[in-house]
Chain A
Amino acid sequence: MLFHPAVMALLLADALSLVLLLPAGVFAVRLLRHWDLKSGSARQINLERQTYLIATVLGFVFLVQILSLLLLVFTADRLAVQFVGAMCAVGTFNVNPFGFPALFLKLALFFLAATWLFMDHVDNRAPDYPLTRVKYALLLVVLPVATLAALVQLRYFLDLRADVITSCCGSLFTGSKTVTAELAQMPPLPAMIGFYVAAGAVVLAGLHYLWHRRGALVFSGLSAVAFPVAIAAVIAFLSLYIYEHPHHHCPFCLLKAEYGYVGYLVYLPLFVGSALGMALGVTLPFAARAATLRPVMERVMPRVVATATGLFFLLIMLVAWFSWRSNLVLL
């Protein structure tokens, strides 16, 4: 399996990311110890020059990491045909114990990377770089997650054996005493109410912010809450409507061609909207301490909130549309 082009691309992307991230981590430690923008010393000027380069490199690394989450899921789905018992990405991830941990670590990396990129975007627009220390401290959090994600993913692909009989998504979402099974067994009505309330609250909080320029932190908190609620909603009822089958709860089969790749349509606004909201929420408390960031945030925040609000609104519309046009009657 290692020589599957997508697997090679994923491993190469992770290897290159680590090669670039590890020196950046060393630089981050140096920067945290010596950064003093008031100083005109040669060391400070060198740190500033290096931070331009390193931030540019990290921008590419994190974009690659964001895309690699998509590629990992897509690859797992495509590899399903190679394993007995696998119907979709779930079966591929279930081939060995490292599949789902690799996915969850990539997911964590996705949100961390989005936060870092947002922080960097904001920081570069203030003349005193007030978030530089924070973003390099965050890099030191990202680094072990990225390393672990790369190692777990490598182990996962190394242990992919075609002779393993794996279990399909049906076993994960029915019967067994797992969180996913519990979610799948959730009655549709409370799941629907939960989803529309959570996503609707994000949209309302976003509109409130855009109207009154207040409540950005509430918006961020709500978008962080809406993410797991929406995932639960996909498992509990949206998947049923799309598959038009009362017992097929898999959130991964949505990504398959036979369902028109609708999963990408649903997950894209959910992931991007949540990531924007969360990144804003993490950045806000630090940005509030820097007077020079106020005009920057006044420019950036409405755009970010408007985008995330729009994406959550799109998500609500999509979920409502798929529920309405389905031939399955749940309620």
Chain B
Amino acid sequence: MDAFIELRGVRKAWNEGLPNQFWAVDGIDLDLARGCVTLLTGPSGSGKTTLLTLLGALSRPTEGRVRLAGEDVSSLPERFLTERRRHNFGFVFQQFNLIRGLSVLENVMLPAYPLAPPHGELRARALQLLRELGLEHRSEARVEWLSGGEAQRAAIARALINDPPVIIADEPTANLDTHLSMAFLAIVERLKAQGRTVILSSHDALVSEAPVVDRIVSLRDGKVVG
């Protein structure tokens, strides 16, 4: 299976040059195949979120190379990295990061604006995604009125609006009860069936034991340990 994302000798330092500098990710080699669900797991501070930001081109490695679909993106300036990110990744953040004051529909449509699709087409696509995720009836509601499960589904719809091949979710079940976590895993199953690559980070046993997960990458102190 071809690797869609390759990491070679990747290290990422925070507080670089300061006395409290530390390597959040420390020498990771990793190949992630297309269409697979990969779970990053490990204790808090093990480097899961930093690794997700590197995999999702949200940040650049301090050392090492990151290749996305064969292209070395580790030294791409931010302007170009944004473009790659926009076309390849959808993100679901731990706190969902929905924009308060905007409706669910507006939040979902937002990441597509830089690509300037026709408004009617974009709106129809956003409504279709909300329908698939059972949230169409809440499309005009402000996001601050949503429940935790609804907010997460809105965040997933937003992540899918540009039809990215890769979905990245950071601790997606951290704020959800068991029932909602199961519903989330069902959505992951559907994303996998659509041929998308899904990368999750979680230390929730429910996720790590889910049959939908193809591969588990265990991290400790910024290193892959299993």
Binding site for B on A (CB under 8 A): 37-43, 45, 48-49, 52, 124, 127-129
Contacts and interface: CB of A to CB of B under 8 A. Distances in A.
Residue from the set B62, B63, B77 with the largest chain A CB neighbour count within 10 Å: B77
B48 interface: no
B78 A128 contact: no
Interface string B9-21: 0001100110000
Contacts of A41: 16, 62
Interface of B: 12-13, 16-17, 60-63, 74-80
Contacts, number: 34
A40 B60 contact: yes
A167 B78 CA distance: 57
A295 to B, nearest CB: 14
A40 B74 contact: yes
A128 B75 contact: yes
Given A42-B17, A43-B17, A45-B60, A37 B75 contact: yes
Nearest to B54: A40
Nearest to B74: A40
B80 A127 contact: yes
B5 to A, nearest CB: 16
A84 to B, nearest CB: 57
Given A40-B61, A45-B60, A127 B76 contact: yes
Contacts of A52: 78-79
10 contacts: A37-B75, A40-B63, A41-B62, A42-B13, A45-B60, A48-B77, A49-B78, A124-B79, A127-B77, A128-B75
Contacts of B80: 127
B78 A48 contact: yes
A48 B60 CA distance: 12
A40 B75 contact: yes
A48 B79 CA distance: 10
A38 B12 CA distance: 14
Contacts of A38: 75
A128 B63 CA distance: 17
A127 B80 CA distance: 6
Contacts of B62: 39-42
Nearest to A126: B80
Nearest to A124: B79
